[in-house]
Amino acid sequence: MRPEEYGEKFSDHFLEQYKLYVEMADRISQRREQSNRFYVALLTSLAALLVILARFGLDTENDAGGFLKAVILAIGALGSVLAIIWFVNIKSYRQLNTAKFQIINRMEKQLPFAGYSDEWELLRPKSGPSRYFQLTRVEQFVPLAVFALFAVITAYSAFLLFS
């Protein structure tokens, strides 16, 4: 909507909407960080439990019927699934933030100074590879590495259980 169609409060309302979008983008980043902490704590706890079970349980011949191996298999599978969910979660937050910042960049075209747009221009090189690594791109490797660890644990415990 053009300012003349909206009325005299256009600038005030536009600025309030801009502030709201910037605040919401920041809140999404905070939620992503909280989500990452949750998954790190949960998966670290599962890994610690696996270490304890493996240390005290697999060394003995008392595991009748392979119950402990089945528990380790289940924990490994759960860790793998949680790592995949974490990866999807990070990707979702990234897409949401990307959309929000696209809107913020559009809004900045009507403001006297386009801080976020200028920031991205400075971070993107005119030629050659970028030296800036987006956090969301880097942080996507962590759940993939955790997934690989739990997948190996799952495969090994399945081998022990069924061999």
Answer for the pair 22, 84: CB distance below 8 angstroms, yes or no.
no
DSSP helix, strand, coil percent of the chain (3-state; round to 5) = 80, 0, 20
Answer for the pair 143, 87: CB distance below 8 angstroms, yes or no.
yes
The larger pLDDT score, comparing residue 108 to residue 1, is at: 108
| pLDDT of res. 3 | 78
Could you report the per-residue pLDDT of 92-142, keeping only the tens digit for each?
Answer: 999 999 899 999 999 999 888 999 888 888 887 777 676 777 777 788 899
Rounded to whole angstroms, the Cα distance separating 4 from 79 reads 57
Could you report the per-residue pLDDT of 68-94, keeping only the tens digit for each?
Answer: 888 999 999 999 999 999 999 999 999
Rounded to whole angstroms, the Cα distance separating 88 from 90 reads 5
| pLDDT of res. 151 | 97
Average pLDDT over residues 139-160: 94
Could you report the per-residue pLDDT of 27-54, keeping only the tens digit for each?
Answer: 999 999 999 999 999 999 999 999 888 7
Answer for the pair 14, 110: CB distance below 8 angstroms, yes or no.
yes
| pLDDT of res. 63 | 62
Taking the model in full, what pTM does it have?
A: 0.84
